[in-house]
Chain A
């Protein structure tokens, strides 16, 4: 009995009993739909986070205070071991570095005439714009002079500008923060929030002015404390060299003998960390989905076993008139595989629809992964084969005399 013949026979048998066939497929359908959807969501999340990280700017290193441990412990208080002078030293002494921007931010009430808004107040230097790849929409950014003179000037993010000034052109106007007054000199182009930081809804001040004028910012004996320092390296290739040089410089400046009190992260290390997390997430989702696929396979085995029992007479008859054990084995295996592959295809369709729905409801661009589809359908076939073997062997081993006698 050749293969296409067996195939036709199996299709005939399966379509003759549509209800049972669909119930058998149900488990595989659900399993496959969840594999496709879960992997899609996982990959979507990965893509989303990667895109967010990419907007941080190319060739950028972030120097953050504290060591790996203190950061991982996640205390409320960020250790303040970095100062503006560290940033200046990096600028002056590390050759592979082209720009350095220290940052310190707080949330404060920003007042313009009778309007006010709660927003981030970010203190930084004139290099922030290039290091972090921002652009100006109007006016100018902070200048070196502003920093040296502790000028009371401010640059607004696009969102904050809209919130405070609706008709009035903001440039040249004065805003007040904690009683100090600042003149608006520019407005940055909108960039969108990333990683929870939204510079569009912020006011940017010279970090020197912020330190001297705004109450509440601490100063250490070493100078103005910063939350982190962004550094842009010459090129992608020079990033590891820059990291090494900065580490040496800061160790020297901080008199470090054993444990560093700072930590350098690049966009790459952040991408790696995020990749590890989202990768684990994807694996976990896929595992959950895989389990449902497995349960679907057990469902197939279950119903195939019932089917073998119900069709005992058919099996006996086939063997009596000349079906070999292999013929019967092949017949039931092919039925199981057809059911599971068909279930796999239907489930894949459902999974893809699920992904399309999720994409429209969440910021994730959940992708339909061809790999996941191929694997899911292939695995379904494999599951049909694996869980079909036992019932099919039961069928093949039936004694035709006993089978025919069963009423």
Chain B
């Protein structure tokens, strides 16, 4: 079985000439189906850039990226949009819920773009909200929800199209320790159900819950297989 995510010498270069920035530099990285892994590293080390490439929001400047066996560089924007819609669920630090829509409508949004019939949409969105423990909050607008609840709505939105991969860039960055725990519990459940979960975090406490840590520095992966239980390694990587 092919790995879900496979980077081969992936580079991402921003700017030109003197101002050229190598956000990623010849990265080789493989993440298999069903893995639960954390991406860590100092600020500016290329974590978000890597997430953008993994999430098919961006293409590498050079090298190849295979997602679910497909060479992403060879696909056009429409195909990438389709992959994001059907195979990837995004969770952001800032939640990014639409304020004019209710929790239910926010969760239905990916299915709207997927062309799912309206009745089925409502059904699946309700179940997704129940799954994250918000079955009683479906008609609330985001402003009527706490930060933790908003992030759970965002997770419901990410899983509603039954994706292969959940990508979360600092999903607990805006949350307190209690709600962080709630979010991590949900991620653990998703992982148990077979979904691949990749999350960026700078908190060892959070990374500890994953199976594997990928450590970035200066646009390169310097530790592709750190064991989260090895906390000492986290504070002083090579």
Docked pose: A17 CA to B100 CA in angstroms = 9
Q: Are A1 and B113 in contact (CB under 8 A)?
A: yes
Ranked nearest first, the 7 interchain pairs of A and B with the lowest CB-CB distance are A322-B85, A16-B100, A322-B113, A317-B96, A321-B110, A324-B81, A323-B113
Q: How far is the CA of A320 from the CA of B85 in the complex (A)?
A: 8
Q: Within B77-101, which residues are at the interface with A (CB < 8 Å)? A: 77-78, 81-82, 84-86, 90, 92, 96, 98-101
CB distance from B60 to the nearest CB of A (A): 13
| B112 contacts A314, C-beta separation under 8 Å | no
B188 sits at the interface (CB 8 A): no
A318-332 CB contacts (< 8 Å) to partner B: 318-325, 327
Q: Assign chain B's interface to a size class.
A: 20 to 34
Measured CA separation A400–B52 after assembly (Å): 10
Determine the chain A residues whose CB is within 8 A of the CB of B77 once the complex forms: 324-325
Residues of A within 8 A of B113 (CB): 1, 318, 321-324, 327
10 A-B pairs besides A16-B99, A320-B55, A404-B96 with CB distance below 8 A are A1-B113, A12-B100, A314-B98, A317-B98, A318-B109, A320-B57, A321-B84, A322-B82, A324-B77, A401-B58
Q: Is B114 an interface residue (CB 8 A)?
A: yes
Contacting residue for B57 out of A9, A17, A313, A400, CB 8 A: A400
Nearest neighbor of B84 in chain A, beta-carbon distance: A322
Chain B contact residues: over half helix, strand or loop, or mixed? helix
* Most chain A C-beta atoms within 10 Å of own C-beta, residue among B57, B81, B86: B81
Choose one: B90, B98, B99, B100; the contact of A320 (CB below 8 Å).
B90
List residues of chain B with CB within 8 A of the CB of A1: 112-113, 115
Residue B47 at the A interface, CB < 8 A?
A: no
**At the interface, yes or no: B152 with Cβ under 8 Å from chain A?**
no
Residues in B51-88 with C-beta less than 8 Å from chain A: 52, 55, 57-58, 77-78, 81-82, 84-86
A residues with a Cβ closer than 8 A to B are 1-2, 5, 9, 12-13, 16-17, 313-314, 316-325, 327, 400-401, 404
Distance, CA A323 to CA B109, complexed state (A): 9
Contact partner, A322, options B81, B92, B96, B118, Cβ 8 Å: B81
* Interface contact A324-B78, CB-CB below 8 Å: yes
Q: Which residue of B lies closest to A400 (CB)?
A: B57
If the complex has contacts A314-B98, A325-B77, are A5 and B84 also in contact, measured as CB distance less than 8 A? Answer: no
The verdict on B191 contacting chain A, using a C-beta distance below 8 Å, is no
Chain A CB within 8 A of B212 CB: no
B156-175: CB near A (< 8 Å → 1, else 0) gives 01000100000000000000
CA of A320 to CA of B118 in the docked complex: distance in angstroms?
21
A319 touches B81 (CB 8 A): yes
Q: What separation, in Å, do the CA atoms of A320 and B84 have in the docked complex?
A: 7
**Which residue of chain A has its CB nearest to the CB of B101?**
A12
Q: Is the CB of B114 within 8 A of A322?
A: yes
Complex CA–CA separation, A13 to B99 (angstroms): 10
Interface of A is mostly: helix
Smallest distance from the beta carbon of B12 to chain A beta carbons, Å? Answer: 11
The A-contacting residues of B in range 166-212, CB under 8 angstroms, are: none
Question: What's the least CB distance linking B164 to chain A, in Å?
Answer: 14
Are B90 and A321 within 8 A (Cβ)? yes
Tell me, in angstroms, the Cα distance from A400 to B167 when the chains sit together: 15
Docked Cα-Cα span, A319 to B81, in Å, equals 7
* A401 CB contacts on chain B under 8 angstroms: 52, 57-58
Q: Which of these, B81, B92, B100, B157, contacts A323 with CB under 8 Å?
A: B81
Q: Collect the chain A residues with CB atoms within 8 Å of residue B157's CB.
A: 321
Q: Whole-angstrom distance between the alpha carbons of A404 and B101 in the complex? A: 18
A322-B110 contact in complex given A400-B57, A404-B96, C-beta closer than 8 Å: yes
How far apart are A324's CB and chain B's nearest CB, in angstroms?
A: 5
Complex-state Cα separation, A338 to B101, whole angstroms: 19
Q: List 21 A-B contacts (CB under 8 A).
A: A1-B115, A5-B118, A12-B100, A16-B100, A317-B96, A317-B98, A318-B109, A318-B113, A319-B81, A320-B57, A320-B90, A321-B84, A321-B109, A321-B157, A322-B82, A322-B85, A322-B86, A324-B77, A324-B81, A400-B57, A401-B52
Whole-angstrom distance between the alpha carbons of A322 and B81 in the complex?
Answer: 5
Provide the residues of chain B in CB contact with A13, threshold 8 Å: 100
| A230 to B: closest C-beta gap in Å | 72
How many angstroms from the CA of A9 to the CA of B92 in the assembled complex?
23
Chain B proximity of A332: nearest CB distance (Å)? 15
* Bound complex: CA A12 to CA B98 (Å): 11
Cβ of A126 to closest chain B Cβ, rounded Å: 83
Check A404 against B85 for contact (C-beta < 8 Å): no
Q: How far is the CA of A333 from the CA of B115 in the complex (A)?
A: 20
CB-based contact B112/A5 at 8 Å: yes
Q: How far is the CA of A159 from the CA of B161 in the complex (A)?
A: 87
Complex CA distance for A15 and B100, rounded to whole angstroms: 9
CA distance A323 to B98 in the complex (A): 14
A20 → chain B, closest Cβ, in Å? 12
Of chain B, the residue at the smallest CB distance from A323 is B113
Nearest B residue to A320 by beta-carbon distance?
B90
Chain B residues contacting A322 (CB-CB under 8 Å) are 81-82, 84-86, 110, 113-114, 161
Query: B161 contacts which chain A residues (CB < 8 A)?
Result: 322
Give CA–CA (A321, B92) in the complex, Å: 12
Q: How far is B109's CA from A322's CA once the two chains are assembled, in angstroms?
A: 9
Residues of chain A with a CB closer than 8 A to B100's CB:
12-13, 16-17
A313 to B57, CA, bound (A): 14
Residues of A within 8 A of B86 (CB): 322
When chains A and B are docked, how far (Å) is the Cα of A16 from the Cα of B101?
9
| A321: contacting residue among B78, B85, B105, CB under 8 A | B85
Determine the residue in chain B with the shortest Cβ distance to A4.
B118
